[in-house]
Every structure is written in structure tokens, then in C-alpha cells.
Amino acid sequence: MLDHSHIKKCAAAAGFDLCGIAPCRRLDDGEKRFREWIARGYHSSLGYLERNAEKRFDPRLLVDGARTAVVCAVAYKNRASDGYPDGHRTKIASYACAEDYHTSLRRMLRELFERLKSATPGLRGRAFVDTAPLTEKLLAREAGLGWIGRQSLLITPQFGSFVVLGELILTEETDRYDTPFEESHCGSCRACVEHCPTGAVMPGRGIDTARCIACHTIERKPDTEIDLDGWIFGCDACQSCCPWNRRAPQHRNRTFDPLFDPSAMDAAAWQAMDGEQFGLLCGRTPLTRSGLERIRGNIRERRATDGWKSGADAEERQTPSLH
């Protein structure tokens, strides 16, 4: 049996800011809401979300013999997280200014797993970082890390929603589990709803991806044309306005230090850049998922009346992270 306190200490030693532990079970309520969201077509161009819905809400279907979900979070808030000056037209979601979190979190989860195996020989499990059909935000709530905000993101009391998540699904039980975070602390605040430039934040803590700027700039582009409001990769509009994020501290893990300052770059700088320069500046960041040509296209894109559509679709992931 795994020791709850030992898991938390190992997670902190591996560089995680938060760690919660939950039993593996089927999350029926989450699956019901997800299927209703799909049925209403709010997933728009993200057709892959229709696949493996049963696995998404039951980690036991992803790891044979799964007993315990260890959900870890790292805060990434940086200067760009607080927003851009008025009129800035080449805005980038703040998480994308640092090393790709998939790479960072996999490395940290691998270290955590090795530490746990040292104390429990024969321990089996699997690490997940936004690459398989796993409902990580609901698992994080089950593990006591926070609640789901109106903008559908996990909000933690310590770091707001400026966190990235990674999970270990393990085959051993632990001596105790954390208490799920049952209550929302959003209160009557509707800042994320009111500040979304396209009205993508829907009732019931859901997102209409056809109107979501992050989806339009990163994922497979929906047919609906929208004004990108100056965003060229992702969107932080529903996060920068959140009171929990405004009081959140800057990131502490140096792995998440920004590799460049997006506020210092205008459209001309991006348009003048060649492939080699893009690789040197952004090669370790999530921006490589879109690539330079699509980023340039996002800079040029205007409302549907301009008749211009963005270029090549980005590669699909199993689970979207619409930061």
C-alpha cells in the first residue's frame, strides 16, 4: 500500500506545486455532462473528442488494475498572464512562452514515478500529460486540488487557473485519499463570461469551441469565422480577468520561466522571422505545434467579411487544453 504523505513529499521533490490523490473510479456525472456537450455540437471541429468517451471518465479502462490517481499541478503564471497593453495585436497565451509543458511534466512525472517505485518495488502505472482520453480537470477536483470555473478550467485556491496538470495512474491503493473539492468558489463573479471577446463561455461551465479563440488559433480550425482579437496562439482572456488569478503569485518552478517576451514582439517581427529564427526562439515552446506559417496566418486573419481563412490545421491531441 502506498503512503499518502510519501507521495506528496516525492511530488514536491520532483518540482510540482500541488499534488492530490484520488481513488480510481468512474466519474458518471462528468460523463453525462460531457455527452450532453457533445450532443449540442459545442465540440465543433474537435471530432476526436467523440471517441473513447467511456475511457475518458474511468481511468481503470486506461490502466489495467488501476487503483490510485496521483494528480499533480505546476503553476506557470508569468508577466504575460496579466494581459497585454491595449492595441497589442500579436498576443500569445502565457503558458506558451515557456518550454512545452508536455515535455516538462513528463520529465517530472517520470522522476516522481521512480521515487515511488524505490519505496514500492513492483509498482506499475502510467503517466498522462494531455495525450490520452483522460478527464484530468475532473480528476484534479476529485483529488482536492480545486473546482471547475465558469470558463471550464480548474481553479486552485493557491494559483488560480494558471496551472498545468499531469497524472500518474497507479496499480496500488494508498493509505488515504484526499477529499474532493465539491464547492465552487466563483460566487456570483462572471468576469470570465463577460471578458471573453467572442462569447465562447457557455452556461454550465462549458466552452463553445466554434467561438473559442484558442481553438481557432491552435486546434483544427472550426468553420465559423470569428475575430481573433489580436491573439495569434491561444487566449488568456477568460483567465487574466479572474480574481483568483489576479491574486495568484508568479510561478516558482524555473522550468516555466518564459523563453521570450511576447509583448516585445509586434506583427512585423513575426512576419520578418524565417524558419531558423523561429526554431531558435520558439523551438522548445508549444508554438511549434502551430508552426510559423499558421502563426503568420493568425496575424493576418480578420473577421469573416475579409474573406481570409487560416492555413494548415494543427495536429490533433487526444484532450484539448484551451488555455
Whether residues 15 and 161 share a domain: the answer is yes
Does the residue 184 lie in any domain?
Answer: no
Does the residue 181 lie in any domain?
Answer: no
The answer to whether 16 touches 143, Cβ cutoff 8 Å, is no
Confidence of residue 317 (pLDDT cuts 50, 70, 90): very low
Count of domains for the chain: 2
* Known catalytic membership, residue 82: no
Structure confidence at residue 297 (pLDDT): 96
Whether residues 41 and 150 share a domain: the answer is yes
Mean pLDDT, rounded, for 72-86: 96
Whether residues 233 and 122 share a domain: the answer is no
Catalytic residue among 17, 130, 178, 236: 130
258 contact partners, CB below 8 Å, separation of at least 6: 78, 79, 80, 94, 97, 98
The answer to whether 266 touches 230, Cβ cutoff 8 Å, is no
Whether residues 148 and 15 share a domain: the answer is yes
> Three cell numbers at 53?
468517451
Element (H, E) at 56: helix 53-56
Question: With pLDDT > 70 as the criterion, what percentage of the chain qualifies?
Answer: 93
Structure confidence at residue 256 (pLDDT): 98
Per residue in 177-201, pLDDT tens? Answer: 999 999 999 999 999 999 999 999 9
Q: What is the CATH number of the domain that holds 111?
A: 3.40.109
Per residue in 5-29, pLDDT tens? Answer: 999 999 999 999 999 999 999 999 9
Per residue in 261-315, pLDDT tens? Answer: 999 999 999 999 999 999 999 999 999 999 999 999 999 974 333 333 333 333 3
Does the residue 75 lie in any domain?
Answer: yes
Structure confidence at residue 323 (pLDDT): 44
The boundaries of the domain holding residue 16 are: 4-82+98-170
Whether residues 147 and 277 share a domain: the answer is no
Give the least confident one: 165-174, 229-238, 244-253, 310-319. Answer: 310-319
Question: With pLDDT > 90 as the criterion, what percentage of the chain qualifies?
Answer: 88
Does the residue 290 lie in any domain?
Answer: yes
Average pLDDT along the chain: 92
Does the residue 251 lie in any domain?
Answer: yes
Distance CA(26)–CA(32), nearest Å, equals 11
Structure confidence at residue 71 (pLDDT): 98
